[in-house]
Structures are given as structure tokens and as C-alpha cells.
């Protein structure tokens, strides 16, 4: 008895629409529940099976919540401004709004054919004048509260798209849209003061229930770092510049400073003899875009200005360089460089031969009371020809070590190292490659029964030739001198000090970790944290610095030189400057024209439409010109979830009453790729509206979750060029919307990517057919079948839990298990079957409604979600695992809640278990009721 899914699905979709069963009612008595999916950009390609996955997931939740008595708001709309529609329009010479209209119609038809329970009454597009009127209105609020300003800034400029890109759009120095290289260009742009919200955006996360990875993404993007400002005077100038550092504890190790090439002092302080070189370098940097800068980060570049800065802590003069590894846009555009403790500075210092002063030494070993202090050395000698290292094999006494020794009076560490090598091994012909960072080591010497704390200096030598003198050993020195390979060293050298010294020799670089300070006067002996605090107090007392917090996040560049975006409602008047449009004149409509190509000068196509551009100043009435830039794509999506709460309001963007009723988006689903940008913009926008009293909460989104992608069957991202695209329309035609929905819920972990499999899809079709067949078993009895009761109650609990915890795949498998149990039975009660239909309805709404109607029940959209009974969740019998020494030996069936003693007896006397107990002594028996018995034997 084959069902015609196409007819059934159409029938129920029409019925739902006629009855308006999915309408959310503002101010309803029922508790509100707001479920949101990111509204799509209606592309020409139509709905993607990826959309189906997340919309179905949220739809299942919405349908269950409705049955549970909630007033559910599950809206849908269109984020339709943006480049693709504009490109399409340029190509085909039609207005982008025509293309958008067509695409929306396609999307909407597809969505309806899948049976999503959207409240279509609240539908809108960001391109509707009724909507973007409020986007413009909100921009004016930003402006009026001093949060929007126009400024000439170096911006990311895409030569191909002829537009400015935000840092977010130009991540990695590549245009997000067209993939071409981004160059730097000075342009006057509208900016929103987002950076000033950094701390609030960080703190606000505490008032959300975002997934941890989402929160972390936001935290990283905001990029807070706590440090200090330090003022450096410039020698022979009456000038001071400030650097930002998180490591003011290393000030004594600062051996040079670097200014960004764009820094305002560069021209002033550069000495005559350096001027040509500095100018050339500045010019070269200006030509580089972000990508080239990063590409070249393998090799540091820079130029000495000829000027010197005075280190405030020790009054030493240190050279000032300029280099593009210092960014003009972060911190103060200037740094103090501590090559011993910063990787980048180390690299630069190496290249330019700048001194490296260690001010922090790593600590190894464990401190102990009553330690004796010593200074000592560890010498590593390398034979390049043989590729071997010189070691001393102390046998059982001390294992394998490099050469070590204590520094004698009036001996330098280097002399000590050479002496020890000669005495212990005889080798004398050595070339010093490198002095290694000092290490602070704690250890216990068995031969002397004493604890030591040593400061060890490492030396790395190369063996020049084999010339030797005779060894000169102490009595207690009993070792073999052996040359060994790297392998042997990594296996046999266990001593922490020697191993760390060896690692320093092999991988020279900065020591960026914690330790104790040296060469730092009053900071000596302190760890990193204490030294930072002490230094900050010192800087503040001496008025040459202070504690300072910095953020990576910058202000939001809010202009685009495009046609297809919200016009920025600002007017430029020669007399009055920038004047905001009168609010009552909004919306400022996009004109209808035939040419959308951007201009070569980087102005928006709107600039060519003189009728539109020329206007009068709202303030003084003189002739004036409109702003021709439009808003970025992210503008409309920054507040759309507020509009859904009150979509038809002509007086306000949304009334306070409506927003107070819905409170927050309870459950917001979107792609992981939007966690940094869209979500941050939206939160910033909302926080601003809250601060001016226009929304009820500082955070308007409670839970944010993200979904994995649906990949092609070859495990690659679906794309036309790879030919692995699945069109949902085809699947619906052949298998039905319910099958598609069911499969997409079943395909895998919702938060992870999952490949498409048409075979698995067929399995889901079979399951639906099975549910249809089960109807033949339904008899006239009511109430649940006794032997199914426990499983039924378990299933209700599990499905309910899974749908609210994004475990859709296991919700489906639970239903499959239930159906399998039904199939075993000769006869089912009406209630047995009705229950299965209710539980399955959120995921497969059409077929369940149909079967439900055939059974004579009221529609499932009016049904109440069943309640499970905790007391009926357990079976009367339970399987107990019996293991011996943790290995499973048998499983037995016992009445549920059998006592520990009973289980222990049963386990010991079990035939299969006894075999493993023979001749052994029982040490311990662990009994976990209703789970496991583990017998430990010897």
C-alpha cells in the first residue's frame, strides 16, 4: 500500500497555511520561545541541502516546543543586499531587486515544499524599503550619539571589486569575494566606534549561553591584552614616545626600539645620514599590502633611524629602528624590543647584530630548603664531521651527561667551560659557537648529600680538531668519555638541566616563558607576574608609564563603494559639513537605474546619478550632495532578529512591548564562520541600542549553536565545479520531504560536517515505509501495551532530550528502535501507534499527520507532547556484566535493583566465571548495582 508522498505533503502544507497554525502571537498567554536560524542570502543557486539540515533541526525543535505549550516564534526572511546580486545585475543589465525577487520566490517555494513551520507573516527582506528605512534610522542614532564618524584611514582596497573591505572581509590580505589581492589605500570612510565597546562585548558574553567555542571565537577576535605603556625619551630631542608592552618586566633587556614606518616621529628623529635609507624603506612599505607583509614575515626588514631612545629604568641609550613588523594600527605603533625574550625581536636582533641581554632565566628541578648556591657551566661539544656530541657516561652513578662543572673564583664561565672540557676529556681545540641562556637549576647531589641551586651558563662548541691533552680527573670522577649521536642523547640524557641546555643549543631563540629575573636590579629573583606588577608601580611612581589594556578589535569601517546596499542617509553641505537626513524623510530609497558598474575612482555607482546625488542641506537649505557610499552587508543582519519580534511596525523598528514580550532569541543557529563577524556586529549593534534605551536587554541572544556542513558524497565541499551538488528538489520529488528531513537529522553529529549518502537516505525512506506498514497492526485496544510501556516512556524522554540537545541523530535512532519493537508484535494498541506518530512528527511532519488522520485523531499540530513517567522507565529485568580482573566473562539477567549481596553471590557462583576463579584468591569484589560486578583475583 504505497503512499503518494507528493500528494500527502502538498495536502498538509496547504492545510497548515490555510489554518495559519504556525503564527506566533505577540503578547500570548503562553510562554514565548524564539527560535532563529540565520536568514539566508537568496542566491541564484537555490536552497542548499545544508540549509535543509539546520532549518529542519530548528523546525523539529519548534514543532516539539509548540506541542509542549509554547508560543513559538520561528521566523524566516532574506539577507538580500550584497555583491552577487549586484554582479548579476551588472552582467544582465537588470535591477538587482528583480534578481532578488526571483531568487526569494524560488527559496520560499522550496522551503514550503519541505514543510518548515515558519511564521511567514513576519517575512521580510533587508532590501525592503520598509526594513532598510530602520537600518538607516539606526545609523542616524549611531551618528547622533557620536558613534559614527568619517575619517581618512588606510583601508583595504580591492582593485577588482573596486571597493573598500573591512579587516574581516580582507582577512589574510585577500578579498573575500573575488580572492584577489588587497592593497592599502587612504580613503575617507564612515566608521562605527566599535572598538570602544571592546570591554562590554567581552563582558556581555557572561550574559549569554553561547557554546564555548563560539565564546572563545569572540574573545580571540576582540583580542584583549593587559600590559603597560612605557614612555621613552629620545636623546637629543625634546620628544617622548610611548610603547605598549605586555612584558614590562623585561625592560632591562630592551636593547633597541622600533617605530612603525608610519609613526609620526620618524621624519623628525631620523638623522641626516639616514634620511635617504629611511625614506626608501617607508616607500617600500606603503606599497606592500597585508598579504605581502605576512608573506615576507620569514625575513625581518628594517632601517636604523640614527636616533636613540633612553631606557627609563637604566638611562641607557638604545637605537631606534623602523620596521614593518611593528603595526601602526595596534598599540602605539611603537615597541621596545627585548630580543632575549621575544621571538620577533630575537630574529630582528640576529639579523641586525643588536646585543641580546637575558633578564629572565628558566627554572628547572625542584627547589628545596637549605640549598647551597653555586655558579656552574654545561658545555656541549659537537663534532660536525662525525655528527656526534661529546658526553660523559657515568654508568649507574649518574647516567649520561654533557660536560659540567663549577666555576672557580676569578674564573669566567667561559674559562671554566674550556678548563672542564680539557680536564675531563682532554680536548682543547674548540670553537665557541654560542653562549646559551642561563638556567636556574635545583638539584640534589648524592655524593655530597646536599641540595644545590645553581646558575648554569651553557656553551655550545664545535670541535676544530682532535688535539688532546691528558685528562686530569678528581678521585670521584669515574666515567667514560663517549661521542654519541642525537638519537642516543634524546634517549639517554635524563638530566633536566643538561637536556634543556642541549635544546637551547639546537634551537636558539628567545626564552618567552616564565622564570626568575636576573640583570634587572630590583626585579632580580622575581617571577614574571610579580616583576610585571613591581615594574608597573615603578613606572607609575616615576611618571614614565602606566598599566594599559589593549584590544585587537578596531572600529568598524561602515562604507562600501557599491550600489546594492542601504544608502547612508548623510548629506554633505559646503557650509555645514556632514548633516544627517531628517528622520521623517527616511527611507532614502535606492534609485532605479540601468548602470551598476562601480566607477574607476572608487566611488559608488550612485555618484553618477546626479539627480539623486544633488539635494539641499537639511540644515541651511543650500545645495548639497548625498553620501554615495552604501552600508556593508553586515548592517541589515545586525538587527533583523529584533524586527522579527514586531515585523509590521510602521512607527518603530520594533516596539519595546514586543521586545519585552519575546525578551531574547532563545536559540540561534548559524554557521561557525559567522561567530566572529556577524555575531560580534549584531551584539555591538544591540548593546548600542540598549545604551540609548531602545531595546530591553544588553544581550538579545541567549543560546548560540552552530551546525556542521553537508559535504558531497566524496567528502568534499559541495560545488558545481566538483559536480557533487545535491539539489533538495530532486530528493523531495523522488523520496519526499519527510525522508529528506529524516535523513538529514540522522546523517551524523549535527555539529560536525557529514558527507551526503543517497544509500543512507534510502534507509530513511524504508523506515518511513515501515511506520506506514505498522498501521496494519493497530487493533482496537487503547492504552499502551504493557510490554512496550518501559520502552515507550524511555523513548519519550530520549527524543525530548535529544531534540533540545542537538542530538538529532540519536532521536531518530530511538524512534527506529521503537518501531523495531512494534514490528515484533502481532498487535499494537491505538495509543502505541499514536505515540510513535507524535514523537516522529517534529522530524517527519507530513506522513505522521496523514496516518494520524486516518486513525481518526485531531491534527498533530493541535496535539500535546506526551509526558513520560519516571517510574515506568525501568525494565523489570536488567543485564549485569560480570568481569574478572576487568575482563568481561559473562552477563546475567537479574531483577532490577537486586542487592549488592545477591549480585556478588550470583557472580561468584556463575559457571563461566568460576572457571576464571579456579586456584585464585579473591582479593576484592566491586559491585555497581544494575551495572557490573568485577571480581579481582590474584
Stretch that binds RNA, among 35-43, 190-198, 718-726, 742-750 (CB under 7 A): 742-750
Distance CA 706, CA 57 (A): 11
For 684, the grid coordinates are 555591538
Q: Of the two residues 298 and 584, which places its CB atom closer to RNA in the complex?
A: 298
Stretch that binds RNA, among 313-321, 366-374, 718-726, 744-752 (CB under 7 A): 744-752
Stretch that binds RNA, among 307-315, 682-690, 782-790, 806-814 (CB under 7 A): 806-814
Q: Of the two residues 131 and 325, which places its CB atom closer to RNA in the complex?
A: 325
Do the Cβ atoms of 380 and 495 come closer than 8 Å? no
Applying CB under 7 A, the site for RNA has a residue count of 89
676 binds RNA (CB under 7 A): yes
**In the set 410, 543, 924, 938, which binds RNA (CB under 7 A)?**
924
747 binds RNA (CB under 7 A): yes
Touching RNA, residues 206-225 (CB under 7 A): 213, 216-217, 220-221, 223, 225
Q: Of the two residues 309 and 379, which places its CB atom closer to RNA in the complex?
A: 309
For 615, the grid coordinates are 539635494
Touching RNA, residues 541-560 (CB under 7 A): 550, 552
Distance CA 841, CA 847 (A): 8
Touching RNA, residues 768-787 (CB under 7 A): 769-770
Distance CA 398, CA 78 (A): 73
Q: Of the two residues 496 and 753, which places its CB atom closer to RNA in the complex?
A: 753
Touching RNA, residues 636-655 (CB under 7 A): none
Min CB(717)–RNA separation in Å: 8
Stretch that binds RNA, among 16-24, 368-376, 515-523, 930-938 (CB under 7 A): 930-938
Q: Of the two residues 737 and 774, which places its CB atom closer to RNA in the complex?
A: 774
**In the set 28, 160, 622, 891, which binds RNA (CB under 7 A)?**
891
Stretch that binds RNA, among 101-109, 502-510, 616-624, 811-819 (CB under 7 A): 811-819
**In the set 141, 209, 649, 760, which binds RNA (CB under 7 A)?**
760
Helix (H) or strand (E) holding 809: helix 808-824
Q: Of the two residues 648 and 887, which places its CB atom closer to RNA in the complex?
A: 887
Q: Of the two residues 141 and 301, which places its CB atom closer to RNA in the complex?
A: 301
Min CB(261)–RNA separation in Å: 11
Touching RNA, residues 570-609 (CB under 7 A): none
Long-range interactions of 239-246: CB distance < 8 A, separation 24+: 239/265, 239/268, 239/269, 241/265, 241/309, 241/332, 241/334, 242/332, 242/334, 242/545, 243/331, 243/332, 243/334, 243/335, 243/336, 244/330, 244/331, 244/332, 244/334, 244/335, 244/548, 244/550, 245/335, 245/336
User: Binding mask 314-353 vs RNA (x if CB under 7 A, - otherwise)?
Assistant: ----------xxxx--xxxx-x------x-x---------
b (16+ CB within 10 A) / e for 535-544: bbebbeeeeb
133 binds RNA (CB under 7 A): no
Distance CA 184, CA 173 (A): 10
Alpha helices per DSSP H over 210-289: 212-222, 266-269, 275-287
Rg (C-alpha) for the chain, rounded Å, is 37
Q: Of the two residues 464 and 766, which places its CB atom closer to RNA in the complex?
A: 766
Min CB(660)–RNA separation in Å: 33
Min CB(881)–RNA separation in Å: 3
Q: Give which of 622, 597, 621, 591 is closest to 609, Cα–Cα.
A: 591
Touching RNA, residues 350-379 (CB under 7 A): none
Distance CA 397, CA 478 (A): 9
Touching RNA, residues 6-35 (CB under 7 A): none
Min CB(870)–RNA separation in Å: 13
Touching RNA, residues 812-851 (CB under 7 A): 812-813, 816-817, 820, 823
Helix (H) or strand (E) holding 270: none
Q: At a CB cut-off of 8 Å and minimum separation 6, what does 253 contact?
A: 338, 339, 340, 341, 357, 358, 359, 360, 519, 520
Q: Of the two residues 147 and 260, which places its CB atom closer to RNA in the complex?
A: 260
User: Binding mask 226-255 vs RNA (x if CB under 7 A, - otherwise)?
Assistant: -x---------------xxxxx--------
Q: Of the two residues 119 and 347, which places its CB atom closer to RNA in the complex?
A: 347
**In the set 396, 410, 543, 887, which binds RNA (CB under 7 A)?**
887
Give the three-class secondary structure for 39: coil
Q: Of the two residues 609 and 754, which places its CB atom closer to RNA in the complex?
A: 754
Touching RNA, residues 139-168 (CB under 7 A): 167-168
Q: At a CB cut-off of 8 Å and minimum separation 6, what does 546 contact?
A: 228, 229, 536, 539, 540
Touching RNA, residues 410-449 (CB under 7 A): none
Could you tell me if residue 915 is left (phi over 0), alpha (psi between -120 and 50 degrees) or otherwise beta?
Answer: alpha
For 77, the grid coordinates are 526572511
Min CB(357)–RNA separation in Å: 15
Min CB(38)–RNA separation in Å: 16
CA torsion angle 288 195 633 36 (round to 10): 140
Touching RNA, residues 846-885 (CB under 7 A): 878-881, 883, 885
Q: Of the two residues 259 and 278, which places its CB atom closer to RNA in the complex?
A: 259
Min CB(727)–RNA separation in Å: 17
Min CB(754)–RNA separation in Å: 4
Min CB(113)–RNA separation in Å: 21
**In the set 172, 367, 577, 779, which binds RNA (CB under 7 A)?**
172
Q: Give which of 381, 518, 400 is closest to 463, Cα–Cα.
A: 381
For 194, the grid coordinates are 566599535
Stretch that binds RNA, among 39-47, 98-106, 391-399, 752-760 (CB under 7 A): 752-760
Min CB(490)–RNA separation in Å: 11
Min CB(221)–RNA separation in Å: 7
Touching RNA, residues 289-308 (CB under 7 A): 290, 293-294, 296-297, 300
CA torsion angle 211 215 217 218 (round to 10): 140
205 binds RNA (CB under 7 A): no
Cα torsion angle, 270, 271, 274, 277, sign:
positive
**In the set 888, 905, 909, 922, which binds RNA (CB under 7 A)?**
888
Question: How many helices, marked H, and strands, marked E, lie in the chain?
Answer: 28, 34
First to last CA, the chain: 63
Q: Of the two residues 214 and 377, which places its CB atom closer to RNA in the complex?
A: 214
**In the set 672, 772, 906, 917, which binds RNA (CB under 7 A)?**
672
Distance CA 857, CA 185 (A): 68
Give residue 3's Cα distance to chain centre.
46
Distance CA 179, CA 172 (A): 10
3-state per-residue secondary structure call for 92-134: HCCCHHHHHHHHHHHHHHHHHHHCCCCCHHHCCECCCHHHHHH
Q: Of the two residues 45 and 922, which places its CB atom closer to RNA in the complex?
A: 922
For 138, the grid coordinates are 539606526
The single residue listed with the C-alpha cell 624590543 is 337
Touching RNA, residues 902-921 (CB under 7 A): 912, 915
Q: Of the two residues 407 and 933, which places its CB atom closer to RNA in the complex?
A: 933
766 binds RNA (CB under 7 A): yes
Amino acid at each position: 500500500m504505497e503512499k503518494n508522498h507528493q500528494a500527502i505533503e502538498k495536502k498538509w502544507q496547504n492545510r497548515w497555511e490555510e489554518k495559519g497554525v504556525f503564527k506566533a502571537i505577540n503578547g500570548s498567554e503562553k510562554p514565548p520561545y524564539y527560535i532563529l536560524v540565520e536568514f539566508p542570502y537568496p542566491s541564484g543557486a537555490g536552497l542548499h541541502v545544508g540549509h535543509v539540515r539546520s532549518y529542519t533541526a530548528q523546525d523539529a525543535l519548534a514543532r516539539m516546543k509548540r506541542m509542549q505549550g509554547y508560543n513559538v516564534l520561528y521566523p524566516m526572511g532574506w539577507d538580500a543586499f550584497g555583491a552577487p546580486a549586484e554582479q548579476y545585475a551588472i552582467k544582465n543589465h537588470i535591477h538587482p531587486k528583480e534578481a532578488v525577487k526571483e531568487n526569494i520566490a524560488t527559496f520560499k517555494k522550496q522551503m514550503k515544499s519541505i514543510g518548515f513551520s515558519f511564521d511567514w507573516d513576519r517575512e521580510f527582506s533587508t532590501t525592503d524599503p520598509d526594513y532598510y528605512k530602520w537600518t538607516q534610522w539606526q545609523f542616524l542614532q549611531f551618528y547622533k550619539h557620536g558613534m559614527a564618524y568619517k575619517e581618512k584611514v588606510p583601508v583595504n582596497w580591492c582593485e577588482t571589486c573596486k571597493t573598500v573591505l573591512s579587516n574581516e572581509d580582507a582577512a589574510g590580505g585577500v578579498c573575500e569575494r573575488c580572492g584577489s589581492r588587497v592593497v592599502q589605500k587612504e580613503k575617507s570612510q564612515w566608521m562605527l566606534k566599535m572598538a570602544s565597546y571592546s570591554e562590554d562585548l567581552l563582558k556581555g558574553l557572561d550574559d549569554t549561553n553561547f557554546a564555548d567555542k563560539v565564546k572563545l571565537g569572540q574573545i580571540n577576535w576582540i583580542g584583549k591584552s593587559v600590559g603597560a605603556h612605557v614612555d621613552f625619551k629620545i636623546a637629543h630631542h625634546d620628544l617622548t614616545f610611548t610603547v605598549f608592552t605586555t612584558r614590562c618586566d623585561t625592560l632591562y633587556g630592551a636593547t633597541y626600539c622600533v617605530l612603525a614606518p608610519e609613526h609620526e616621529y620618524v621624519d623628525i628623529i631620523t638623522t641626516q645620514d639616514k634620511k635617504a635609507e629611511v625614506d626608501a624603506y617607508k616607500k617600500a612599505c606603503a606599497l606592500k599590502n597585508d598579504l605581502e607583509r605576512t608573506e615576507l614575515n620569514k625575513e625581518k626588514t628594517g632601517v636604523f633611524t640614527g636616533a636613540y631612545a633612553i631606557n627609563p629604568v637604566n638611562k641607557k641609550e638604545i637605537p631606534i629602528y623602523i620596521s614593518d613588523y611593528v603595526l601602526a594600527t595596534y598599540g602605539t605603533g611603537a615597541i621596545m624590543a627585548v630580543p632575549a625574550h621575544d621571538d620577533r625581536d630575537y630574529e630582528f636582533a640576529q639579523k641586525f647584530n643588536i646585543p641580546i641581554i637575558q633578564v629572565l632565566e628558566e627554572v628547572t628541578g625542584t627547589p628545596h630548603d637549605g640549598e647551597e648556591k653555586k655558579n656552574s657551566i654545561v658545555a656541549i661539544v659537537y663534532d660536525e664531521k662525525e655528527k656526534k656530541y661529546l658526553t660523559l657516561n657515568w654508568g649507574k652513578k649518574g647516567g649520561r651527561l654533557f660536560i659540567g662543572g663549577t666555576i672557580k673564583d676569578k674564573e669566567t664561565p667561559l674559562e671554566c667551560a674550556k678548563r672542564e672540557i680539557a680536564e675531563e676529556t682532554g680536548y682543547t681545540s674548540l670553537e665557541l659557537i654560542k653562549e646559551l641562556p642561563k638556567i636556574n637549576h635545583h638539584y640534589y647531589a648524592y655524593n655530597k648529600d646536599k641540595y644545590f641551586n645553581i646558575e648554569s651558563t651553557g656553551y655550545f662548541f664545535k670541535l676544530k680538531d682532535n688535539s688532546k691533552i691528558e685528562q686530569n680527573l678528581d678521585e670521584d670522577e669515574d666515567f667514560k668519555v663517549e661521542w654519541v649521536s642525537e638519537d642516543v642523547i634524546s634517549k639517554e640524557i635524563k638530566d633536566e638541566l643538561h637536556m634543556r641546555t642541549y635544546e637551547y643549543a639546537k634551537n636558539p631563540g628567545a626564552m618567552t616563558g616564565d622564570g626568575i629575573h636576573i640583570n634587572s636590579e630590583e626585579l632580580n629573583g622575581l617571577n614574571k607576574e610579580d616583576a610585571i606588577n613591581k615594574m608597573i608601580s615603578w613606572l607609575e611612581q616615576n611618571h614614565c608609564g602606566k598599566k594599559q589594556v589593549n584590544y585587537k578589535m578596531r572600529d568598524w569601517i561602515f562604507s562600501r563603494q557599491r550600489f546594492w546596499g542601504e544608502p547612508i542617509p548623510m548629506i554633505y553641505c559646503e557650509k555645514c559639513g556632514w548633516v544627517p537626513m531628517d528622520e521623517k524623510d527616511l527611507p532614502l530609497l535606492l534609485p532605479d537605474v540601468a548602470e551598476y558598474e562601480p566607477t574607476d575612482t572608487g566611488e559608488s555607482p550612485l555618484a553618477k546619478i546626479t539627480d539623486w546625488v544633488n539635494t539641499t542641506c537639511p540644515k541651511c537649505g543650500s545645495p548639497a550632495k548625498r553620501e554615495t557610499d552604501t552600508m556593508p552587508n553586515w548592517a541589515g543582519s545586525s538587527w533583523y532578529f529584533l524586527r522579527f519580534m514586531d515585523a509590521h511596525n510602521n512607527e518603530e523598528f520594533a516596539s519595546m512591548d514586543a521586545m519585552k514580550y519575546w525578551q531574547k532569541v532563545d536559540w540561534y543557529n548559524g554557521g561557525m564562520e559567522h561567530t566572529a563577524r556577524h555575531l560580534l556586529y549584531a551584539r555591538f549593534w544591540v548593546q548600542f541600542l540598549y545604551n540609548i534605551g531602545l531595546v530591553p536587554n544588553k544581550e538579545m541572544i541567549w543560546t548560540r549553536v552552530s551546525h556542521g556542513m553537508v559535504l558531497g558524497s566524496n567528502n568534499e565541499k559541495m560545488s558545481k565545479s566538483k559536480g557533487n551538488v545535491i539539489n533538495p528538489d530532486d530528493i523531495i520529488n523522488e523520496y519526499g520531504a519527510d525522508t529528506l528531513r529524516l535523513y538529514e537529522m540522522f546523517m551524523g553529529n549535527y555539529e560536525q560536517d557529514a558527507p551526503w549518502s543517497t544509500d543512507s537516505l534510502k534507509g530513511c525512506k524504508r523506515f518511513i515505509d515501515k511506520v506506514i506498514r505498522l498501521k496494519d497492526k493497530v487493533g482496537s485496544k487503547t492504552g499502551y501495551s504493557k510490554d512496550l510501556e518501559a520502552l515507550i516512556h524511555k523513548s519519550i524522554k530520549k527524543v525530548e532530550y535529544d531534540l533540545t540537545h542537538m542530538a538529532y541523530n540519536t532521536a531518530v535512532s530511538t524512534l527506529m528502535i521503537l518501531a523495531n519493537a512494534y514490528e515484533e508484535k502481532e498487535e499494537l494498541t491505538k495509543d502505541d501507534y499514536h505515540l510513535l506518530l507524535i514523537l516522529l512528527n517534529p522530524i517527519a511532519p507530513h506522513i505522521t499527520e496523514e496516518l494520524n488522520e486516518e486513525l481518526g485523531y485531531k491534527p498533530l499540530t493541535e496535539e500535546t507532547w506526551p509526558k513520560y513517567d519516571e517510574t515506568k522507565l525501568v525494565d523489570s529485568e536488567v543485564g549485569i556484566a560480570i568481569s574478572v580482573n576487568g575482563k568481561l566473562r559473562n552477563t546475567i539477567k537479574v531483577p532490577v535493583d537486586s542487592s549488592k549481596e545477591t549480585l556478588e553471590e550470583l557472580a561468584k557462583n556463575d559457571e563461566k566465571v568460576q572457571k576464571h576463579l579456579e586456584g585464585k584468591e579473591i582479593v576484592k569484589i566491586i559491585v555497581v548495582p544494575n551495572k557490573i560486578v568485577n571480581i579481582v583475583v590474584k
